[in-house]
Amino acid sequence: MKKIVNAVDDVLTESLQGFVAAHSDLVVLGRDGKFVRRRDPTPGKVQLLSGGGSGHEPLHAGFVGLGMLDAACPGQVFTSPTPDQMLEAAKTLAPEAGLLLVVKNYEGDVMNFEMAVEMAGDLLGPVATVLTDDDVAVETSTFSTGRRGVAGTLVVEKLVGAAAEEGADLAACQTLGTRVNAATRSMGVALTSCTVPAAGRPTFELGEAEMELGVGIHGEPGRRRVPLMSADAMAEEMIAALLSDYADRPDEVLLLVNGFGATPLMELYLLYKAAADRLTASGVKVARSLVGNYVTSLDMAGASLTITALDEGFARLWDRPVHTAGLRWGC
């Protein structure tokens, strides 16, 4: 497979250096390249720290900045960051008002964040965690126990980041993050596999007339492999799965159409129309929307749909200013 690299072993290091150089007004690289943090932190507020394997850009480093994360720890491709990375980032943040960890529900991420907190002891002060598990496709996978945390993580980071910026305390931020996650559902579809640079070959094989319904962001298997569908049929199946997962169907939602890295915006907007039409036909109003590549899977062709049931508080926090490499409005 053709890739724009110098040496496979240096992909993450050089990519992070390029990212920080390109966005030097927003972020700086931590010691030994272990994490990315805000250049101009807001003093006295709850600090938000997240992280995970690389290959999902702009998640998570691309969401470091005003109104979202204060720091992010990138692991190697599809590999959890190490506890020492997380501990170094947490100590640098010096969270006087408390530290909130936003952790996707993958065994490595959960274990390593827990280890970092144990290693810190009393150095960090109060620490709380929000676990994201918005993927309705499968209950378990090779990476997780229970549901996977996928594109809904962006919504949690945005809303909790806005609340922290307004001065919400640690308990309120944790409660909010848990509520947002509980209100959020996601499901993805793959048209091709992704290719991990170190492997140099596709993670899995799909026939020309096949697609993987419910795929994970690391290429984990989904609900089933099916014949290639039209965009309308994809949207109908995914929206039905998302809505059926709510005990009470929401009245208004945020709709996020997220590309996996190799899907053109033309196709993502086409899928947005199909999904929005399906929600409207189901009596659900699309009150907020976002379309683009935000939680990717390297070079995978495909997309995910995420809906978050909105109330006035969620909608207000979504609209609050944000200025990161990956998201910016109101600034």
Q: Dihedral of CA 165/166/171/173: which sign?
A: negative
Q: What are phi and psi of 80, to 5 degrees?
A: -60, 145
Euclidean distance between the first and final Cα of the chain, in Å?
40
Angle of CA points 75, 77, 81, to nearest 5°: 15
The catalytic residue among 23, 60, 218, 323 is 218
Asked if 218 is an active-site residue, the reply is yes
Asked if 23 is an active-site residue, the reply is no
The catalytic residue among 23, 56, 60, 323 is 56
Query: Beta strands 127-132 and 99-104: pairing type?
Result: parallel
Rounded Cα distance between 142 and 203, Å, is 14
Distances (CA, A) of 316 to 162, 166, 321: 9, 12, 10
> Of 141, 190, 156, 127, nearest to 60 (Cα)?
156
By CB atoms closer than 10 A (0-12, 13-18, 19+), residue 259 is buried
Rounded Cα distance between 271 and 273, Å, is 5
DSSP states along 255-293? EEEEE-BSS-HHHHHHHHHHHHHHHHHTT-EEEEEEEE-
Q: How many residues does the chain have?
A: 331
**Among the residues of 47-189, which ranges form H helices?**
83-93, 107-120, 152-165, 170-182
For the chain, percent helix, then strand, then coil, each to nearest 5?
35, 25, 40
Q: What is the DSSP-derived secondary structure letter of residue 46?
A: P
| Residue 218 in tokens | 């690391």
Residue with tokens 């799909």: 206
Strand partners, 128: 100
323: left (phi over 0), alpha (psi -120 to 50) or beta: beta
Q: Which residues form the catalytic set? A: 56, 218
